[in-house]
Amino acid sequence: MTWGGITLRLSDYEFKGANHDGYGQNWPISHEDLDPHYSALEQLFEVRGERDGLEHLPDGRMAPALPLMPEEERFRELLNRERGIPLIHSRGFEAHQATETPSWPRSSSNGTSLQRALATGRVEILCNSMAESLEMDATQERARAVVVVNRRSRERQRLECNLVVVCASTIATLRLLLQSEQQSNPKGFRDPSGLLGKGLMDHVSCCRFFSVASETGRGATQLSDPSSTLSGAGSFFLPFGNAPEVCAERNFLRGYGIWGGINRFDPPWWLKRNPDRRLGFLIGHGEVLSDTRNDVRLSERCDPLGVPMPHISCRWGANEQAMVQHMQNTIADCISVAGGVTTPLAELVNVPLMAPLLRNAVAAQDDAPPPGYYIHEVGGAPMGATEDHSVVDCWNRLWRCPNVLVVDGACWPSSGWQSPTLTMMAIARRACLEAVKPRND
């Protein structure tokens, strides 16, 4: 129901990645297919950013970017001068500001999509309920109902339907589909590819905190200015991405980007160990290769409602390990070039009671956090051009049950390196608009 507000488009280097390195499957769609849907969403969320003219990170329809902090401007200047590394304004929306009339932030569905859906008067929310499975008709090629379980009464009810849009988040969607497929339900739909549940991905990541000399001197930071607050728009990116000229020099496939900010989350000067310096962070997150060994399947154990639990098997491979090492080296070099000092967060702030927590935080460790940490799970019901190599078609319809659309992260055949939420919503918008077009049949 909520997300971080970073809105990066995927490029054709992600959609057609197999064309460049031969790994995996291409998406059956391109950036051109999603462009109008990206644009509509960027306007809805009032996304901010600049037109950077990068082929591997397409520009969108954005409002003017928020200004960089003085220390970020200096960081940008040094990286460009010493390494030729471009630093761009992050693309996203501003942090939510309190108003006299309470309102939901744009980072929540309550403040955007769900709010608009409820305003139509044609939406009913079933509280304390969970979708358990899909019920097929006699042909087993069309869903006729969704079986829902009430969490309190444990009673089940059938919701008859002509169209089912599955957007429960990747793991929950795969659980629902696995419950409804022939291997676990003889009356379920058929998956000719045998790929349902396989190829789970997340973003591999690493994080470093550092400090740099203040550009404005000791004392209060500029955080009283809303545009200075850390947010999807109030930050920056080093968008290395999947451009061939960049990837050619690497010992791994696909790409990554680095998100960062300086002087956007500083504690009061009296809590800092060195009040004359500003705190910064750099977080690398990269594309993970689809691997059928990383999967979601139904467990023999059931939850309290009697529904089989999802069993997840996922680990980083050699490609991800090599990528993380490259990220760490790049981040260390960027901090050094800018005159920064890499320092554990626990040593940057003077909060004794929180020091053990900060030292043991997963993000503060040298190794990459495990799969699931970044909460960007995708894959398991990939879209594709043929039913032999994918679970859904180019319009997100199950190949053998076309009135069921899978429109969340589960439908991704590859993960890209960019934050996924904007693309998830663009895919959902495109698929749903196509599904409700008038048809002769």
Residue 351 falls within a domain, yes or no?
yes
Look at residue 223 in the predicted model and tell me its pLDDT. 52
DSSP 309: E
431 and 299, same structural domain? yes
**CB contact at 8 A, 257 and 52:** no
Same domain for 71 and 193? Answer: no
Percentage of the residues of the chain whose pLDDT score is greater than 70: 90
More reliable by pLDDT, 351 or 392: 392
Confidence of residue 356 (pLDDT cuts 50, 70, 90): low
Yes or no: say if 327 and 284 are a contact pair by the CB < 8 Å rule.
yes
Q: At 109, is the pLDDT very low, low, confident or very high (cuts 50, 70, 90)?
A: confident
Tell me, yes or no, whether 310 and 431 share the same domain: yes
How many Å apart are CA 411 and CA 336, to the nearest integer? 40
Residue 57 pLDDT more than 80? yes
| Of the listed ranges 86-100, 176-190, 252-266, the one predicted with least confidence | 86-100
Does residue 304 share a domain with residue 188?
A: yes
Q: Are 242 and 97 in contact (CB under 8 A)?
A: no
Asked which of 334, 367, 400 is the last residue of a domain, the reply is 367
* Helix pair 70-83, 318-337: axis angle to 10 deg: 110
- What is the pTM (predicted TM-score) of this model? 0.94
Position 440 scores a pLDDT of 65
Higher pLDDT, 50 or 216: 50
Domain containing 322: what range?
A: 66-89+204-286+317-367
Helix (H) / strand (E) containing 116: helix 113-119
- pLDDT tens-digit map of 401-431: 999 999 999 999 999 999 999 999 999 999 9
Residue 262 lies in a domain: yes
- Containing 173, the helix (H) or strand (E) segment is helix 170-180
| Residues 434, 392 share a domain | yes
In whole angstroms, give the CA distance from residue 34 to residue 10: 9
Q: Which residues pair with 295 in a beta bridge?
A: 198, 313
Specify the residue for token string 């080093």. Answer: 238
Evaluate whether residue 299 is within a structural domain: yes
- In this prediction, residue 145 carries a pLDDT of 98
Residue 180 is part of a domain; what is its CATH number? 3.50.50.60
Q: Which residue has the tokens 């297919």?
A: 33
Single-letter code of the amino acid located at 428: A
Pair 324, 400 in one domain: no
Percentage of residues in the chain with pLDDT exceeding 90?
Answer: 77
Say whether both 310 and 411 belong to one domain.
yes
Which helix H or strand E contains 380, and what residues bound it? strand 378-380
Diameter of the chain measured on Cα atoms: 74
Are residue 238 and residue 359 in the same domain, yes or no? yes
pLDDT at residue number 295: 99
Q: Is the dihedral of CA 16, 240, 358, 349 positive or negative?
A: negative
Q: How many domains is the chain built from?
A: 2
Report the alpha-carbon distance of residue 299 to residue 312 in Å, rounded.
9
The confidence score (pLDDT) of residue 216 equals 80
